[in-house]
Amino acid sequence: MKEIRFTKDDLVAYQGISQDKNPVHETGVVYGIQLMARIEGYLKEWLNLNEVTSFEYHLLQPLIINQTASLVIATDGNFELFYGVKCLGKGKINGK
Please tell me the pTM assigned to this model: 0.87
- From the number of C-beta atoms within 10 Å of its C-beta (0-12, 13-18, 19+), residue 51 rates as exposed
CATH superfamily of 2-93: Hotdog Thioesterase (3.10.129.10)
Query: pLDDT tens-digit profile of 69-84?
Result: 999 998 788 999 999 9
pLDDT in tens, 26-46: 899 999 999 999 999 998 888
Helices 8-18, 32-46: axis angle to 10 degrees equals 100
Going from N- to C-terminal start, the domains of the chain cover 2-93
